[in-house]
DNA sequence: TAGCATAACATGTTTAAACAAGTTAAGCGG
DNA sequence: CCGCTTAACTTGTTTAAACATGTTATGCTA
């Protein structure tokens, strides 16, 4: 249920592009045409199109038109500039998923943890280790740190489902912004054990470190996601600005 | 030289935030205040602020204000949702850089290459292998494929400098859009040799595969960048939308 | 004083209009 | 037929105004 006009137009155009209504490299109908189609103002239409641009679906060319450059992605891949939970990502790709909680504990941030996570010293933290399965294959080992005051009432049972559903649905928290850093790190014994990896085969893995902020500007989550290297795939679209 | 008002406002606000004019988590001046400061319309100001949002510099909160959440990045890291050449990235981080061309040849795309790169079968291609040094350390081994008709006149000498400068400056091509896919792959003998890696140490590396489009909607570049795992670092900001 | 309505102020959405700038094809003149 | 101007069409930028919605502090009432 889109709450705004530009979003419903955006979704409809996106759907039409994905449905192959426009050939690859074909020009979309002009702004004026689309304005009549959707019976909206030029600004509203342009706002929808600009989201398609940042999604990498189309490319605008001044004086020429808007070109469809959408090409469907073949494999499982993680979000493109969006915050997606593991569950959302799996659903989008039509795969079965399961989350196993390996560890659930509470702790207080000391100097070392604070330096690593950015949480204030003395802050009370939920620390979780979670293993994510896709089609019954263990792919990701997550180390989650949640600020207790923001995620109050979190339990192991909730963590086996979707933590984000709990935070957004039950606690009514808005999740806004996330900074993610991708690196390659050596495999640890824990990784080896739970992700069923063989050091002879791969001795390192993809690590995504993320800092997530809520609507009040509080960094409430620090997460380190350790991915099986042979299944890791991260996609993004870059737009050259200046 | 910013060519538009909103861009100059965006740059100034960005500069002010980076210069620590606003404390971390502090609210920026309200829209009305900034409109008076920059003597512009509300739309223009909001357009500038929305770019700061997508850069992860600020966070807007309806009814409350715009919060500064900028935190300077500690280490060398590659672009955040932008297309940056190796040289631009090095300059931004104030490091010395050098590019060595290992191989420069022309070839015609056959079925196999076409499937891998997306170039049309029979298309004439420049194929380059380039080694990038940062502070005299070999960090990245690039396999570049350029569509000859778009990069006409490319030479080994140009490739030792900035290919993008040549394409944008001399050939007046506009570079618009890039799709990037990050994966982790096994190290090859070539990687081992040129990046001075030891398989005992790391047996895999970060690989960024990118497809780049020009202003005419033509995919003119396919590049596979193979990064030393211990120096690879990729950062992005994700914004939750729906 | 506690609680509630409300005014003041914040950002979010939408429309309308005008002008700027790049592209293309029509049409005219040689 | 070629080459130029130009008109028509494209997207890009900017302003102004109105209304919607969320937040906060003021001030009144019980």
Among chain A residues, CA nearest to B234: A182
Whether residue A23 contacts residue A65, with contact meaning beta carbons closer than 8 Å, is answered with no
- Does this model's pTM top 0.75? My answer is yes
Supply the CATH number for residue A161's domain: 3.40.1410.10
In a domain, A77, yes or no: no
Structural domain span for residue A18 = 5-68
Same domain, B138 and B223: yes
A210 within some domain: yes
CA-CA distance, B209 to A216, in Å (whole number)?
37
pLDDT of residue A91: 66
- Per the domain annotation, does B47 fall within a domain? yes
If you measure CA to CA, which chain B residue comes closest to A206?
B184
pLDDT classification of A76: cutoffs 50, 70, 90: very low
Same domain, B136 and B216: yes
Closest residue (Cα, C1') to C11: B62
Structural domain includes residue B75: no
Q: Is the pLDDT of residue A79 over 50?
A: no
Is residue B179 in a domain?
A: yes
All residues of chain A having their beta carbon less than 8 Å from the beta carbon of residue B238 are 79, 81-83, 177-180
CB within 8 Å of B39: residues ≥ 6 apart: none
Distance A9 CA to C18 C1' (A): 25
Does residue A50 surpass a pLDDT of 90?
yes
pLDDT in tens, A187-197: 999 999 999 98
The total of structural domains in chain A comes to 2
**Alpha-carbon distance B206 to B140, whole Å?**
10
Residue B76 is predicted with a pLDDT of 44
Residue A36 and residue A135 in one domain? no
Are A16 and A129 within one domain? no
Closest Cα in chain A, distance from residue B156 (Å): 25
* Average pLDDT over chain B, rounded to an integer: 87
Same domain, A57 and A122: no
Mutant choice from B236, B239, B241 vs A, greatest count of A C-beta within 10 A: B236
Is A156 contained in some domain? Answer: yes
Share of chain A above pLDDT 70, in %: 90
Chain A residues whose beta carbon lies within 8 Å of the beta carbon of residue B182: 182, 206, 232-236
- A contacts of B183 (beta carbons < 8 Å): 206, 232-234
Binary contact (A177, B238; C-beta < 8 A): yes
Helix B42-54 / helix B31-38 crossing angle, nearest 10 deg? 110
Per-residue model confidence (pLDDT) at position A75 = 46
Footprint of strand D on the protein (CB under 7 A): A 28, 30-33, 42-43, 46, 60-66; B 3-7, 40-44, 47, 61-64
- Residue B30: CB atoms within 10 A of its CB come to 12
Could you tell me if residue A239 is inside a domain?
no
Which nucleotide comes closest to A7 if you measure CA to C1'? Answer: C13
**Using only C-alpha atoms, what is the Rg of chain A?**
21
CA dist A95 and A81 (Å) reads: 21
Closest-approach nucleotide to residue A53, Cα vs C1': D11
Q: Which residues of A touch B184 (CB under 8 A)?
A: 184, 202, 204-206, 227, 229-230, 232
Output the distance from B63 CA to C6 C1' rounded to whole Å: 16
Please list, residue by residue across A54-87, b when 16 or more beta carbons sit within 10 angstroms of its beta carbon and e when fewer do. Answer: ebbbbbbeeeebbbbbbeeeeebbbbbbbbbbbb
Q: For position A43, which CATH number holds?
A: 1.10.10.10
Q: Does some domain include residue B239?
A: no
**B211 and B94 fall within a common domain:** yes
Nearest CA in chain A to B61: A215
Length of chain B: 242
Pick the last residue of a domain from B40, B68, B96.
B68
Using pLDDT thresholds of 50, 70 and 90, give the confidence band for residue A67: very high
Which bases of strand D have any atom within 7 Å of the beta carbon of a protein residue? 9-18, 21-24
Listed range (A94-108, B5-19, B41-55) with the worst mean pLDDT: A94-108
Cα–Cα distance measured from residue A151 to residue A226, given in angstroms and rounded to the nearest whole number: 22
Distance B64 CA to C5 C1' (A): 21
Enter the DSSP assignment of A219: E
Residue B131 · residue B141 · CB < 8 Å: yes
Q: Is residue B172 very low, low, confident or very high in pLDDT (cuts 50, 70, 90)?
A: confident
Q: Is the pLDDT of residue A80 over 50?
A: no
Dist CA A55 CA A21 (whole Å): 18
């Amino acid at each position: 249920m889109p709450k705004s006009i530009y979003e419903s137009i955006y979704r409809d155009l996106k759907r039409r592009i994905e449905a192959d209504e426009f050939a690859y490299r074909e020009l979309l109908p002009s702004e004026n045409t689309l304005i009549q189609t959707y019976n909206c103002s030029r600004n509203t239409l342009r706002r929808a199109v600009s989201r398609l641009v940042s999604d990498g679906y189309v490319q605008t060319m001044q004086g020429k038109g808007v070109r469809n450059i959408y090409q469907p992605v073949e494999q499982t891949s993680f979000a493109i500039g969006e915050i997606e939970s593991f569950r959302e990502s799996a659903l989008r790709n039509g795969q079965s998923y399961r989350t196993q909680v390996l560890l659930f504990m509470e702790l207080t941030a000391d100097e070392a943890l604070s330096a690593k996570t950015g949480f204030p010293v003395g802050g009370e933290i939920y620390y979780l280790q979670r293993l994510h399965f896709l089609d019954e294959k263990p792919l990701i080992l997550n180390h989650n740190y949640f600020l207790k005051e923001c995620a109050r009432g979190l339990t192991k049972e909730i963590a086996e489902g979707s933590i984000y559903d709990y935070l957004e649905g039950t606690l009514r928290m808005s999740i806004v912004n996330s900074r993610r850093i991708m690196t390659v790190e050596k495999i640890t014994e824990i990784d080896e054990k739970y992700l069923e990896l063989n050091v002879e085969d791969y001795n390192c893995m993809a690590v995504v470190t993320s800092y997530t902020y809520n609507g009040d500007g509080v960094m409430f989550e620090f997460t380190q996601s350790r991915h099986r290297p042979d299944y890791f795939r991260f996609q993004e679209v870059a737009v050259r600005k200046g």
